[in-house]
Structure formats: C-alpha cells, structure tokens
Amino acid sequence: MTTISHWIDGKSIAPTGETLPVLDPATGKTVAEVALADTDTVKQVVASASAAFPAWRDLPASRRAQALYTFRELIRDHQDELAEMITREHGKTLDDARGEVARGIDTVELACGVPGLLKGETSEQSGRNIDTISTLHPLGVVLGITPFNFPVMIPLMMASIAIAAGNTFILKPSEQDPSSAVRIAELAKEAGLPDGVFNVVHGRQQTVEALIDDPEVAGVSFVGSTPVAHSVYRRAAAAGKRVQAFGGAKNHLVVMPDASIEAAADAISSAGFGAAGQRCMAISVAVAVGGVGDELVAALKKRAEAVVVGPGYDGRSEIGPVVSAAAQQRIRKIVADAKSAGADVVVDRSTEQVSGFEDGFFIGPTLVDHVTDSDDIYRTEVFGPVVSVVRVDTLDEALQLIHDHEYGNGASIFTNSGGAARKFQREACAGMVGINVPIPVPVAPYAVAGWKNSVFGDTGLNNAAWKFFTQPKYVTSRWDEAVSGIDFGFRPN
Ligand code: NAD
C-alpha cells in the first residue's frame, strides 16, 4: 500500500504516526494511505518555509516568473497524469479533471505576469519637494487549506499567486484526494523553485489548527465548507493574521419566460449534475419564472434520466461518483427526508447502483419540483447531483430568493431580454453572476469571490489575490537642501 507523504524542504518526508485511507470512490476500495502531520511535522514545515523566505523574497520578480513559466510547462506536460490522479481519488470524469487542470494552469499563467502586475505607485511632488511611493511586499510564510472538489485547481490558484508575490507556501490539501498536491510540489521543484518555497503537509483539523497557530505563519487562505471556513477565519483573525476563507454555496439559475427552455435545461443539467454536483459553482436551484415551470421540468426530467453515471475513468461516463460513503449517505438522506416531507421528486436516481461497481459511492441525477424557500433541501448545500425547481411569478421574486439565501457565491439568468439581464446583473445578491451561461466562474484575470456566507474576508482568489498575498509600504522622501529646521505644526501639503 502506497503512503502519500508530506513534501517538506524539497523532499518527501518519511511518515510517522497516524495515517488515513484514501479511497477510489468508484469502487469504494482503499488505494493508498495518507500520513497525518503531527506537531513536530508542522514545526518542520514552518521552519523550512521560513528559512526559504528571505532568499525567495529577494529574488527579482522576473526570476520568480521564469521558474513559474517552467512550472506551467511541466503542469501542462503532466496534465493527463494529474487528471488521472484526480479521477482516481475524487471520482470526476477524466475529461472534467483535465478541464480542472487547465483552469489551474490559467492561474499559473496569470502569476507568470508578476513583473508587470506587482507594481507600486509614485506621486512626484506630492508635497513641496516631497515624493511619495508605494511598494508591495510579500507577507512571509502563507498557508493554503484546500477542499476535495478541486484538488489541483484550487491549490494552483492559491500557490502560484502567493509564490509569485515572493511568499513561501504551505499547502494543506484535502485528505480525501491528496496525491495530486504532492505531484504538483514535485513539479515545482523540477521547475526550479527552491526547496522550502512550496511545501505540502497532510492532515485534518488538528494539523490545520497547529499551522494557523504557528507564529511564523503570516497569512491563511482557505477554501471549503462554510462552517469550517468560519472557524478558520475566526481562529486566524483572533491571532491577528491576514485571512480569507471561502465557504459553501447554493447557486440559483433563473429561467425567464422569454428564454430558450432547451438551452436553459442544458445549462442546468450541465452545471447541476456535472462533477456529480460537487462544484462550488454547481447550479442547485432552478427558478422558473412566470409559468415556464412545466416545460422546464419536462426538459430537465428528460436530461436527468438520460445521464450516464459510472466510474470517471470510463470514457462513457458523464458523471462519476461522489467523493465518499459519508457524502453518499448524507445526500441520500437529504432526498429521503424531502420525500417524507412530501416533496415532488420527479426523478430519483439517488439510490441507483452502477453495475460492476456496487460498492462505489454513486448518486444519480435527482430532480425535485415545487420546492419552496422553507424546505430543508432548498436551504442546505446538498453538494450532490440534485436540482431543486422553485416556481415564482416575477423576476423580482426570483431576486428576492437569491437575496434571502444564506449563500451568495454565484447566480445566473437565462433570458433574451437585455432589460431583465441588466436588472439581474445589478440586483442579484451574489459575487459571481452569469447571463446565459451556466457556471459564472470568471476567467483568471478577474477574481473568484462570493458574497454573504460564501466568504469570510474581503479579497478574492486569482487576480484579486495579489492584494491578499502582499502588504503595501508607503515611503515619503525629501531630497532638497532645506530639510533642516524645527516645525511643530502638522502642515498641509
Ligand atoms: P471541508 O470544509 O470539509 O474541508 C476543507 C479543508 O478543511 C480540507 O483540507 C479539510 O481537511 C480541512 N478541514 C476539515 N474540517 C476542518 C476543521 N474542523 N478545522 C480545520 N480544517 C478542517 O470542505 P470539503 O468537503 O473538502 O469541500 C467542499 C466544500 O468546499 C463545499 O462546501 C464547497 O461549496 C466548498 N467550496 C467553495 C469554493 C468557493 O470558491 N467558495 C470552492 C470550492 C469548494
């Protein structure tokens, strides 16, 4: 049995102590075990990242970018290998996994632009014979804690910007699919990143808390579920650290009466059932406006029944399993509870089995109609291939639903009306908005950032992360002859 080890100071560390099994969600079988970092390992990784920081910080940005260009090429060369690792441990289809790696590469490319992007400002003659400049400085050792659902993309989103900005980075990936994180760290070394700049340690709550509490860790970037995001945010902030923590979601897609129902149903199916509903930008609520409900539900039913469920490494599968037996049981319970509460479950494939893979954690597409905003299935983040349909009369009612929901990650509208689209764009209470697109995740030169309980902190990932991973310094200087003389006033410029 392979043990997935920590990667500290440019090498694999022989595991000591506790391990956890890593499962193939398609078979339910253990494929490896992952080491859990104890206190000594946490101290070791922080010491390595601290020691590497001064030299990495002092390297010109263009030299850091050179290493990142090579890193990008290596990830591209190993795209299939990384995708296979994702599929083996996460369960998503190979095609979807390749897409995930490609989105991660987008951020590495963005990070390669560091020499042009991390520039300060200058105001010559900001006072009489006085100049003011601002410069941007890395924080030091920064920590990234990442979720299971994007085991390559989210680590790359955090690490590449943090490292390009001159920080050294400790990644604590999900213990459910940890292999690709270590492979990325190996590629970072091969790309020429000095030892200690990119480290990986595995673990759960205890490891995360020890890392956050270490005085040498200056910044914490987290992506995961809302309860954990909130607790990580509170703990890091209480220690006076810079922290951004991205949480869960419940994304609505509003279908207007003038929209193409076929296009909207395609979008809802792709974004609701794709990756077995395990994307933070998955559409889990379809809002049918003004009488389109029956036609929309019929179109969704046809699609939900047709989806091919199977192991991600079988090219015929359109969606793979969910990540774990616990996730499978939790989602099945949500659907069963909704049924007992009288929900109109139009398609229920939640207990479906895949022939030859009976021990896999599969959940087939499930469609629930006539859901209301007081139903548990509406309020909870299901994180499975389950779409709820809510019927309303007007766009204002649809916007109110989005406004009132606890989460505010993304929201989309399908319409042919410019007026409706513009109103939605302005008023939808979510950080990422889509118009006639199913998953409104902006491209890397923008930001990934939700609103409300989908985020704690005020900076996004991708291009917004420069601000998170640097701190500004403001320098005021005067070089004229008449600098001496006492002046007790607080002078205007
Ligand atoms: P999770 O919160 O269970 O775990 C996330 C990370 O935190 C993992 O590395 C895990 O080991 C660690 N962790 C777990 N419990 C902890 C605790 N008590 N204290 C400290 N650390 C802990 O999330 P997950 O199930 O891996 O990921 C799915 C969630 O992530 C969903 O809610 C999804 O919406 C969210 N997500 C959000 C975004 C976004 O951009 N907002 C992106 C991707 C995923």
Nearest partner of 229 among 449, 74, 427, judged by Cα: 449
Domain membership flag for residue 385: yes
Per-residue DSSP letter, 274? G
Are 236 and 334 members of one domain?
no
Nearest partner of 46 among 272, 220, 244, 215, judged by Cα: 215
Beta-bridge mates of residue 455: 246
Residue with tokens 């900076």: 459
CA of 223 to the centre of ligand 1 (A): 6
Q: Locate the ligand 1 atom nearest the alpha carbon of residue 203 and give its number.
A: 11
Instruction: Please work out whether the CB of residue 468 comes within 6 Å of at least one atom of ligand 1.
Output: no
Give helix 79-90 / helix 94-112 axis angle, nearest 10°. 130
Q: Is-contact 362 321, C-beta < 8 A?
A: yes
Per-residue pLDDT of 195-214, as tens digits, reads 999 999 999 999 999 999 99
Instruction: Give kind and range of the element (H or E) at residue 273.
Output: helix 261-273
Domain membership flag for residue 484: no
Structure tokens at 435: 């118009």
Instruction: Please work out whether the CB of residue 450 comes within 6 Å of at least one atom of ligand 1.
Output: yes
Parallel/antiparallel/unpaired status of strands 130-138 and 470-478: antiparallel
Are 166 and 305 members of one domain?
no
Residue 230 burial (10 A CB sphere; 0-12, 13-18, 19+): middle
Q: Is 349 helix (H, G, I), strand (E, B) or coil?
A: coil
Structure tokens at 31: 């494929």
CA–CA dist 255, 358 (Å, integer)? 37
CA of 233 to the centre of ligand 1 (A): 12
CA–CA dist 314, 1 (Å, integer)? 24
Are 54 and 67 members of one domain?
yes
Are 265 and 201 members of one domain?
no
What is the CB-side half-sphere exposure of residue 393 using CA atoms within 13 A? 0
CA of 248 to the centre of ligand 1 (A): 8
Are 169 and 103 members of one domain?
yes
CA–CA dist 249, 256 (Å, integer)? 22
Per-residue pLDDT of 13-27, as tens digits, reads 988 889 999 999 999
Per-residue pLDDT of the chain (493 residues; tens, 9 = 90+): 899 999 999 999 988 889 999 999 999 999 999 999 999 999 999 999 999 999 999 999 999 999 999 999 999 999 999 999 999 999 999 999 999 999 999 999 999 999 999 999 999 999 989 999 999 999 999 999 999 999 999 999 999 999 999 999 999 999 999 999 999 999 999 999 999 999 999 999 999 999 999 999 999 999 999 999 999 999 999 999 999 999 999 999 999 999 999 999 999 999 999 999 999 999 999 999 999 999 999 999 999 999 999 999 999 999 999 999 999 999 999 999 999 999 999 999 999 999 999 999 999 999 999 999 999 999 999 999 999 999 999 999 999 999 999 999 999 999 999 999 999 999 999 999 999 998 778 999 999 999 999 999 999 999 999 999 999 999 999 988 766 778 888 876 6
Residue 184: count other Cβ atoms within 10 Å of its Cβ: 28
CATH number of 60's domain: 3.40.605.10
Domain that holds residue 238: 3-247+454-475
User: What is the best residue among 148, 156, 454 to mutate for testing ligand 1's pocket, by most ligand atoms within 8 Å of CB?
Assistant: 148
Overall number of domains in the chain: 2
Q: Is-contact 60 391, C-beta < 8 A?
A: no
Residue whose Cα lies nearest atom 12 of ligand 1: it is 204
Give helix 61-77 / helix 79-90 axis angle, nearest 10°. 70
CA–CA dist 182, 190 (Å, integer)? 13
Domain membership flag for residue 441: no
Residue 490: count other Cβ atoms within 10 Å of its Cβ: 5
Domain membership flag for residue 490: no
Instruction: Please work out whether the CB of residue 439 comes within 6 Å of at least one atom of ligand 1.
Output: no
Are 62 and 155 members of one domain?
yes
CA–CA dist 400, 256 (Å, integer)? 15
Q: Is 482 helix (H, G, I), strand (E, B) or coil?
A: coil
Nearest partner of 26 among 313, 278, 268, judged by Cα: 313
Domain membership flag for residue 276: yes
Residue whose Cα lies nearest atom 20 of ligand 1: it is 205
Give the active site residues. Answer: 280
Are 289 and 399 members of one domain?
yes
Are 328 and 229 members of one domain?
no
Structure tokens at 2: 């392979």
Are 243 and 256 members of one domain?
no
Whole-structure pTM value: 0.97
